[in-house]
Structure 1
Amino acid sequence: MFVARSIAADHRDLIHDVCYDFHGRRLATCSSDQSVKVWDKSETGEWMCTASWKTHSGSVWRVTWAHPEFGQVLASCSFDRTAAVWEEVVGESNDKKKGLCHWIKRTTLVDSRTSVTDVKFAPKHMGLILTTCSADGVVRIYEALDVMNISQWSMQQEISCKPSCSCISWNPSSSRAHAPMIAVGSDASSAAYSGRVHIYEYSEHTRKYTKAETLMTVTDPVRDLAFAPNLGRSFHLLAVATNDVRIFKLMPMRSEAMPSCSTTKLEVHILAQFDSHNSQVWRVTWNITSTLLASSGDDGCVRLWKANYMGNWKCTAILRGDGCPLNRACTQSAAPSTAVPYQHTLLPSSLAGRRNFS
Structure 2
Amino acid sequence: MMMDEEEEISVVQDMAYDYSGKRLATVSIDREICIWNKKDDWQRTYQWKAHEGPLFGVSWAHPCFGNILATGSYDKRVIIWEEPEASSSYSSSSMDKSTKGWTALAHLVDARDEVRQVQFAPPHLGLLLASGSADGYVRIYTCIDEADLHQWPLLTELDMDSPVVGMSWNPSVDSIPLIVVASHKDCRVWSMDNDTRRWTDWHLFRTSESDTADLSAVAWAPHVGRSFERIALGCEDGSILLFQFPRIQQGNKTNGHEMQPICRLNHGNERIVRLQWNMVGSILASSASDRMVRLWKALPQDGTRWNCFDVVHLNE
TM-score, structure 1 normalization: 0.78
What is residue 117 of structure 1 aligned with on the other side? 116
- State how far apart, in whole Å, the 2-side matches of 1:7 and 1:249 are: 40
- State how far apart, in whole Å, the 2-side matches of 1:95 and 1:274 are: 44
> In the TM superposition, what is the alpha-carbon distance from 1:199 to its structure 2 partner?
1.1
> In the TM superposition, what is the alpha-carbon distance from 1:11 to its structure 2 partner?
5.9
Give the match's secondary structure for 1:69: helix
More strand by share: 2
Structure 2: where are the runs of 5+ without partners? none
- State how far apart, in whole Å, the 2-side matches of 1:79 and 1:123 are: 26
CA contact (8 A) 2:234 2:274 kept: yes
CA contact (8 A) 2:140 2:157 kept: yes
- State how far apart, in whole Å, the 1-side matches of 2:24 and 2:102 are: 14
- State how far apart, in whole Å, the 1-side matches of 2:279 and 2:142 are: 25
Output aligned runs, 1:59-208, within 5 Å.
59-90=54-85, 96=91, 98-100=93-95, 102-175=101-174, 178-187=175-184, 195-208=185-198
Give the match's secondary structure for 1:223: strand
Query: What is the CA deviation profile of residues 276-331 of structure 1, one whole-angstrom value per residue up to 9, with x for unaligned ones?
Result: 32211111111112121111111111111122313331111111123x4xxxxxxx
> In the TM superposition, what is the alpha-carbon distance from 1:200 to its structure 2 partner?
0.8
> In the TM superposition, what is the alpha-carbon distance from 1:96 to its structure 2 partner?
4.2
Give the match's secondary structure for 2:124: helix
Specify whether residues 146 and 308 from structure 1 end up closer, same or farther in structure 2 by C-alpha distance, changes over 3 A only. Answer: same
| Structure 2 residue 31 is the aligned partner of structure 1 residue 34 | yes
TM-score, structure 2 normalization: 0.88
User: How many residues are matched?
Assistant: 302
CA contact (8 A) 1:252 1:267 kept: no
What is residue 314 of structure 1 aligned with on the other side? 307
2:203 to 192, 198, 213: 213
Query: What is the CA deviation profile of residues 203-257 of structure 1, one whole-angstrom value per residue up to 9, with x for unaligned ones?
Result: 2354211111111217532222111122242211111111212221122477xxx
| Structure 2 residue 249 is the aligned partner of structure 1 residue 250 | no
- State how far apart, in whole Å, the 1-side matches of 2:276 and 2:8 are: 23
> In the TM superposition, what is the alpha-carbon distance from 1:128 to its structure 2 partner?
0.4
Give the match's secondary structure for 2:151: strand
CA contact (8 A) 2:170 2:177 kept: yes
> In the TM superposition, what is the alpha-carbon distance from 1:262 to its structure 2 partner?
6.3
What is residue 353 of structure 1 aligned with on the other side? none
Structure 1: where are the runs of 5+ without partners? 1-5, 188-194, 255-259, 325-358
Query: What is the CA deviation profile of residues 254-287 of structure 1, one whole-angstrom value per residue up to 9, with x for unaligned ones?
Result: 7xxxxx6563466845233122322111111111
Give the match's secondary structure for 2:113: coil
Give the match's secondary structure for 2:215: coil
Specify whether residues 262 and 318 from structure 1 end up closer, same or farther in structure 2 by C-alpha distance, changes over 3 A only. Answer: closer
CA contact (8 A) 2:66 2:85 kept: no
What is residue 43 of structure 2 aligned with on the other side? 48
Q: Which has the higher contact order (CA 8 A, sep 6+)?
A: 1
What is residue 18 of structure 2 aligned with on the other side? 21
- State how far apart, in whole Å, the 2-side matches of 1:253 and 1:158 are: 21
CA contact (8 A) 1:12 1:33 kept: no
CA contact (8 A) 2:87 2:101 kept: no
**In terms of mean alpha carbon deviation, does 264-273 or 236-245 score higher?**
264-273
